[in-house]
Amino acid sequence: MRIVQKYGGTSVGSLERIEAVADRVAKTVQAGNECAVVVSAMGKTTDQLVELAKGLTNKPDARELDALLSTGEQVSAALLSMALHKRNITAKSYTGWQAGIETEAIHGTARMTNVRTEFLEQALKDGIVPVVTGFQGIAGDSVTTLGRGGSDTTAVVIAAALDADVCEIYTDVTGVFTTDPRTVPNARKIKSLQHEEMLELATLGAQVLHPRAVENAKKFSVRLVVKSSFSEEEGTEIVADLEGLELQKPVTGIATEKSVARIAVVGVPVNRHGLAKMFSKLAEERVNVDVIVQSVVKERVVDVSFTVQEQDVDEALAVVEGLRTELGFEDVIKESGLAKISIVGAGMISNPGVAGEMFEILASADVTIKMVSTSEIKVSCIIPASQLATAVSSVHSAFLEGVLSGSK
């Protein structure tokens, strides 16, 4: 088999942990597999490098900041290669540009545009384990970094480019759970789920995988396995399609998001193209809008509510207020202290009525629903943050432990 393994910052956070990773990689190679490895920076290294830069200036040059931050992964890659040499495994560390990873010319949040696979293919052909720095690439003569989740994305794209049989993402948890076990002790590990389900969960707040990584796995049909680098437990498999009993379950998992705020814009005249102007301006200011609900209260006038992260609410409010004269709306109202709970499952497509069941569960638990957003495989509700724990426990109990779970 051809396997790409990715190890996160916790997994390579010390020399002892790097030794343990080297043991795992060596075991993979000794079993007759071709193996390429992608690594993150050790522990909190990236944060420490950012602090160093800020010790000099509050606005470091973007190109030089990327050059600085990229060194964290280089340390991990070199140390892991040394540890593999000690185990008589031929290994070679590669920076992003040495591995042929090309990106757009944007610093801090670049997206990969191409992987020139000849370097890594030749290494594998020669029996070498390439240890690649995650989170980075090159554009022209400049090192670029990929932003949050960059190492996961690097691993998935490399797996696709190398036509690997599987991409294994090693982290500090044993897989993807039905919800956060710290919130619901009865949460269980999911054996397998579809790319679409994982993408929804990641987008809606589950932090095991970054949405960009899952998006690329879906795009290139990369088989993912999420598992812990600290145990031998089987992980969670994420694939293009599932068959049989897995699809009979209406809900696969529950995602939550805290620190949500809502802005309600009252009395927006529709003849001024107000919604288009408002959301275009919010996008220009890089305010990420999530749930949007519009209601018609009287002819030619609408009310619209939307959610943003709590940290963005003042900026969003300023944008909307700045359009008051141009758009002619009546009022704008801010509400903080909210949260989002979402159920996700491909089985919803063939199980009508799941949304109604969720609303009934929340009502029975005296949870107030402020807003609702749905798709074919998810239902999201905006609720008071103070009621989130109750909501998650009640919904998990009904859909994933009780009669609505499909269990006998």
pLDDT of residue 132: 98
- Helices 45-56 and 62-86 cross at an angle (nearest 10°) of 150
* 356 inside domain: no
Average pLDDT over residues 47-72: 96
* 12 inside domain: yes
DSSP of 83-137: HHHHTT--EEEE-TTTTTEEE-S-SSS--EEEE-THHHHHHHHTT-EEEEESSEE
Q: What is the pTM of this model?
A: 0.88
The CA-atom distances, in angstroms, between 277 and each of 25, 280, 283 are: 53, 5, 10
Does residue 404 have a pLDDT over 90?
A: no
CA 243 – CA 350 distance, rounded (Å): 13
Number of folded domains that form the chain: 1
Does residue 272 have a pLDDT over 50?
A: yes
Does residue 298 have a pLDDT over 90?
A: no
Does residue 365 have a pLDDT over 50?
A: yes
Give the range of the structural domain holding residue 30, as residue numbers without chain letter.
Answer: 2-172
* 251 inside domain: no
CATH number of the domain at 90, please: 3.40.1160.10
* 59 inside domain: yes
Residue with tokens 């343990």: 20
* β partners of residue 103: 112
pLDDT-above-70 percentage for the chain: 97
pLDDT of residue 352: 83
* 258 inside domain: no
